[in-house]
Amino acid sequence: MNRILIAEDEPRIATFVEKGLRSQGFTTAIATDAVEAIEMVLGDSFDLMLLDLGLPVKDGLTVLEELRGQGVTLPIIILTARDDIQDKVAGLEGGADDYMTKPFRFEELLARVRLRLRNDRATTIGEKDTSIQIGPVTIDLLTRRVCVDRQEVELSAREFNLLETLARHPGQVMSREQLLDRVWGYSYDPGSNIVDVYVGYLRKKLGSDFIETVRGMGYRFQT
């Protein structure tokens, strides 16, 4: 049974989300401020977190930054009234898996929660494994550090997520649509070239030999 942490200081919204999730068979807990949210994530076992940006004590983006900085990899969906594009970009670049604005329909939230949990299960490599090693590339999943030939390469949160997704499926062709879904977690214009742009960023930082373009199909990580 999946456990979900709801980091939300507005009682009406927290109760609404909690009741809806519990009716679908999830186990839930509520954190009403940023410090409590961080302590609960670090001290307990959750499968997903719903994070409001307007939490007391610390901003939700700070919570996100601190958790990712400590190697926390559980899926995080931002759930906030902030609909400014800069906030959305900051949240997604900071390591959030998805971003929903209030007001929202519970049916859509439930669909996104299930998608994140399904993708997380599909990409889990084993509880004892904390890194991925493919040739000269080492990806540390706890510290979110990447090394090529033992030389550390600095990546943004989005670049790391894209590299990790490709590296978890070495030799497998992944379409742009799959990568959009797993890395960005929300709908883009099908004609968007965001995946190609970020693959270009990775090639510049890692070298051009690791990620192969399969014409008309997508990309794969070379083994």
Question: Per mean pLDDT, which range of 38-42, 122-126, 211-215, 218-222 is the poorest?
Answer: 122-126
Q: Assign residue 95 a region (left: φ > 0; alpha: ψ between -120 and 50; beta: otherwise).
A: left
Task: Using pLDDT thresholds of 50, 70 and 90, give the confidence band for residue 190.
Answer: low
For residue range 84-117, what is the model confidence (pLDDT) as tens digits?
777 777 778 788 888 888 888 888 888 889 888 8
pTM of the model: 0.56
Supply angle C-alpha 58, 111, 83, rounded to 5.
Answer: 40
Phi, psi at 160, each rounded to 5°: -65, -45
Average pLDDT over residues 155-164: 88
Task: Give the H or E element holding residue 151.
Answer: strand 151-153
Domains observed in the chain: 3-123 (3.40.50.2300), 131-221 (1.10.10.10)
Per-residue b/e over 97-130, b at no fewer than 16 CB within 10 Å? bbbbeeeeeeeebbebbebbbebbeeeeeeeeee
Can you give the pLDDT at residue 69?
86
The amino acid that residue 46 corresponds to is F
Q: Which two tokens stand for residue 205?
A: 């930082």
Can you give the pLDDT at residue 154?
93
